[in-house]
Amino acid sequence: MVSPNFDPVVVEQKIAQLALRDSEFAKRAETREQQRQIAKYGSVREYQFPPNTSQIHVTNWVHKKWLRPFRFMFRNMPRPLRKLVKRLSA
Amino acid sequence: MSQFVIATDAQGATLDDLTATHKSLVVSGSRKVTWLVVGAVPDAVKKLQRRFSFGRVRVVTEAVELSQIDLVVFLEAGDGLQRESLLVANEFLAAQPQVDLLYGDSGHPTDDKSEPFSFARRPGWSPERLRAHCYVGETLIARSDLVVNSGGLNDLVLRHPHDRALRLSENAKAVSRLAAVLTIAKSSDSRPSASLHAVVEHCQRQNIDADCELDASVPSVYVRRRLTKQPSVGVIVATRGTSAEVFGQERVLVVEAVRSLFEKSTYQNFHVVVVADTPTPATVIETLQNIGGARLQVLNYDRPFNFAEKNNLGAMSCESDLILLLNDDTEIITADALEVMVALFNDPQVGVVGPMLLFEDSTIQSAGHIFSPDPTDLYRARNPETSGPQNLLRVQREASSLIAACMLIRRDVFEEVGGLCLGFPGNWNDIDFCLKVQLAGYRAVFTPHAHLFHFESKTRIAKRVDAEVGKLGARWGSVLDDDPYFNPRLQRYTNIWKTDSTSKRSMNEALAI
């Protein structure tokens, strides 16, 4: 169970070994990723998350500002016409 | 073009069902199709044969010689293949010769004339989830040699879809999901079916020592592994000894987290290593030592904050079979949480296990992560009664990543992959770790049968550091862009995934309302 003789030197050695293993895995993952990116885009790109995808930034395309007048028009259309648009889009 | 045989269990099917299926086969993209109809009323078969004897589809009722056949499609009576779907599947399998079992999405009729179909968009291959329910759907495409090895066509076609999927998956070299609609189902219900009998037999065949229970309300099967061994668990709790108000009372978070573990947990083969920052009050440490006694060890951490390093330090300071990373702002809800999680390690391929975490108000804090591409807690702040699309939240399943607030890890796996990366001191270290574990060939499993509170602030948003994002992306960019346990045809809406539709129904489906 709990190491009876907790030796900070031994623990530090183990942590250093962990860091070494981590860097090996990182290298493996990075090589694989580079190969995938080259196959997909032809070059390695610098990775960034797309804007507005974090939890606080809710972006559903229907809420885009420029769509507001169109949504207004759509909502005020006669019902049969709205149904027709929906059916065509589906 | 491969030679296909379509196999349909026609027991109880009407002539209309069979006619509907037949019509779809004509436009399925194959020049010549053999349709094996088993168990149909003889009159119906005669009518079918008479009606369609000159078409592209040859209707047979007897066993088919599979030596001339490349692919077998299991199709329910009344369901129809999507136009050109055989062509698409054929191309996919030609490009992926190692794949011998394929499943895809399905369309289901609705009452809404403006949106005549809802679509079941299926996640990638998840063997743990298949034990719970037939999430792969009823339509499966298998290479003929796999069918022969799994009991033969005539045997498989008459089995329950869940049974059939389990048997085929047991012998498959590689199973894959095709993110395209392969079938239009007769049934409007897109929820996966489940067969307790099939899962019990599967566990026997696979030597899984477990009690299986059917939850008919969902439906799904809970495969509860028996604890044959009592592996030791080293619980690593990183803390500063902070206090906060929980359930209307001020409390020292770490004290209550550790107390709940000692007092509530039915699994007691653990010891606790508290990694305490220097400013941690001495009274807190004293209280912890009173609670834990000889089973609790306190380590002083006097360096700048690094969550990854604190956990690595704790993990390397004890010897145990398993390591539980536990935040100090947690509390056990289900007494057998640890037991449920430990038992999952009976499967040697499981490297990491995570439970369902709830906020103080009992809404979901995390049910695993989704990548889209930035990682998010799945169904965060949603009602825990939600079963999710395809009953996602009610079943044990593989996940791309789990939250480090409570994560049980096999020690040898932890050491093999190098623990948590020190380059991610605050964020993403759990994601990086889980992806390393999967790169090493192990699985990360989420279980909804173990519940803990995680008293994290609902409004806390992980701070993005561009350098960390770049580092995470350099390692795992393509996995982040395409989460294997979700479907590229789904779109993200806050912290859930739903079909790419603006209708209210798509939202209701995602929330399983």
- Interface with chain A: mutation pick from B420, B436, B459, B482, highest number of A CBs within 10 Å: B436
Residue with tokens 């079916």: B193
**A88 shares contact with chain B (CB less than 8 Å):** no
Domain presence at residue A51: no
pLDDT, one tens digit per residue, over B110-147 is: 888 778 888 999 999 999 999 999 999 999 999 999 99
Domain presence at residue A17: yes
Q: Do A18 and B115 touch (CB under 8 A)?
A: no
For chain B, positions 68-97, list CB contacts with chain A under 8 A.
none
Exposure string for B201-233, b = 16+ CB within 10 A, e = fewer:
ebbeeeebebebebbeebbbbbbbbebeeebbb
- Interface with chain A: mutation pick from B114, B433, B505, highest number of A CBs within 10 Å: B114
Question: Chain A residue with minimal CA distance to B440?
Answer: A25
Domain presence at residue A54: no
Helix (H, G, I), strand (E, B) or coil at B461: coil
Q: What is the ipTM of this complex?
A: 0.86
Of B115, B273, B474, Cβ closest to residue A47: B474
- Interface with chain A: mutation pick from B313, B316, B318, B365, highest number of A CBs within 10 Å: B316
Chain centroid to CA B120: 15
Q: Do A58 and B494 touch (CB under 8 A)?
A: yes
End-to-end CA distance of chain A: 62
What is the reported pLDDT for A1? 40
The DSSP symbol for A62 reads: G
Q: pLDDT above 70 covers what percent of chain B?
A: 98
> Pairing state of beta strands B233-239 and B270-277?
parallel
Q: Which two tokens stand for residue A80?
A: 């049969």
Residues of B in contact with A1 (CB under 8 A): 232, 271, 295, 318-320
Domain presence at residue A55: no
Exposure string for B111-146, b = 16+ CB within 10 A, e = fewer:
eeebbebbbbbbbbbbbbbbbbbbbbbbbbbbbbeb
Exposure string for B490-511, b = 16+ CB within 10 A, e = fewer:
bbbbbbbbbbebebebbbebbb
Residue with tokens 């994560």: B407
The total number of residues written for chain A in this structure: 90
> Mean per-residue pLDDT for B269-283?
94
**B469 shares contact with chain A (CB less than 8 Å):** yes
Q: Give B184: exposed, middle or buried? Use CB within 10 Å, 0-12, 13-18, 19+.
A: buried
The alpha-carbon gap from B498 to the nearest alpha carbon of chain A, in Å, equals 11
Helix (H, G, I), strand (E, B) or coil at B94: helix
Q: What is the largest CA-CA distance in chain A?
A: 81
Q: Do A2 and B415 touch (CB under 8 A)?
A: no
Residues of A in contact with B318 (CB under 8 A): 1-3
What is the reported pLDDT for B159? 94
Q: Do A55 and B422 touch (CB under 8 A)?
A: no
**A65 shares contact with chain B (CB less than 8 Å):** no
Predicted model pTM: 0.89
pLDDT, one tens digit per residue, over B67-100 is: 778 899 999 999 999 988 888 999 999 999 999 9
Q: Which residues partner with B212 through β-bridges? A: B223
Domain presence at residue A28: yes
Q: Do B473 and A18 touch (CB under 8 A)?
A: no
Q: Do A2 and B271 touch (CB under 8 A)?
A: yes
d(CA B52, CA B35): 11
Q: Do A1 and B320 touch (CB under 8 A)?
A: yes
pLDDT, one tens digit per residue, over B425-435 is: 888 999 999 99
What is the reported pLDDT for B1? 72
CA torsion, points B241, B232, B259, B460, in degrees to nearest 10? 50
**B488 shares contact with chain A (CB less than 8 Å):** no
Q: Do A47 and B416 touch (CB under 8 A)?
A: no
The alpha-carbon gap from A41 to the nearest alpha carbon of chain B, in Å, equals 11
> Sorting pLDDT into bands at 50, 70 and 90, what band is B181?
very high
What is the reported pLDDT for A53? 55
Whole domain around residue A77: which residue ranges? 4-45+62-89
pLDDT at A73 over 50: yes
Encode B264-330 in three state secondary structure.
Answer: HCCCCCEEEEEEEECCCCHHHHHHHHHHHHHHEEEEEECCCCCHHHHHHHHHHCECCCEEEEEECCE
Asked if residues B357 and B406 have their Cβ atoms less than 8 Å apart, the reply is yes
Of B114, B418, B493, Cβ closest to residue A83: B114
pLDDT at A57 over 50: no
d(CA B239, CA B252): 10
Domain presence at residue A34: yes
**A18 shares contact with chain B (CB less than 8 Å):** yes
pLDDT at B257 over 60: yes
Task: Write the CA distances from B352 to A8, B316, B442, integer angstroms.
Answer: 27, 17, 8
> Sorting pLDDT into bands at 50, 70 and 90, what band is A60?
low
What is the reported pLDDT for B460? 59
d(CA B67, CA B63): 12
d(CA B432, CA B36): 48
pLDDT, one tens digit per residue, over B319-343 is: 999 999 999 999 999 999 999 999 9
pLDDT, one tens digit per residue, over B351-378 is: 999 999 999 999 999 999 988 788 888 8
**A29 shares contact with chain B (CB less than 8 Å):** yes
**B273 shares contact with chain A (CB less than 8 Å):** yes
> Pairing state of beta strands B71-74 and B4-9?
parallel
pLDDT at A55 over 50: no
Question: Chain A residue with minimal CA distance to B116?
Answer: A90
**A36 shares contact with chain B (CB less than 8 Å):** yes
Domain count, chain A: 1
pLDDT at B53 over 60: no
CA torsion, points B369, B448, B118, B24, in degrees to nearest 10? 100
The alpha-carbon gap from A13 to the nearest alpha carbon of chain B, in Å, equals 9
Q: Give B368: exposed, middle or buried? Use CB within 10 Å, 0-12, 13-18, 19+.
A: buried
pLDDT at A59 over 90: no
Q: Do A47 and B470 touch (CB under 8 A)?
A: yes
- Return phi, psi of residue B486, to 5°: -130, -175
The alpha-carbon gap from B392 to the nearest alpha carbon of chain A, in Å, equals 20
> Sorting pLDDT into bands at 50, 70 and 90, what band is B461?
low
Q: Which residues partner with B251 through β-bridges? A: B244
What is the reported pLDDT for A21? 96
Q: Which residues partner with B249 through β-bridges? A: B246
Domain presence at residue A35: yes
Q: Do A29 and B476 touch (CB under 8 A)?
A: yes
Q: Which two tokens stand for residue B404?
A: 């480090």
d(CA B46, CA B32): 20
pLDDT at A56 over 60: no
Domain presence at residue A57: no
What is the reported pLDDT for B192? 93
> Mean per-residue pLDDT for B284-313?
93
The string of DSSP letters for B8-67 reads: EE-TT--HHHHHHHHHHHHTSS-SSEEEEEES--HHHHHHHHHHHTTSSEEEE-SPP-GG
Lowest mean pLDDT among A50-54, B226-230, B397-401: A50-54
**A5 shares contact with chain B (CB less than 8 Å):** no
Task: Write the CA distances from B459 to A55, A69, B359, B380, integer angstroms.
Answer: 10, 32, 11, 11
Q: In whole numbers, what is the pLDDT of chain B averaged over residues?
A: 90
Of A3, A11, A21, Cβ closest to residue B416: A21
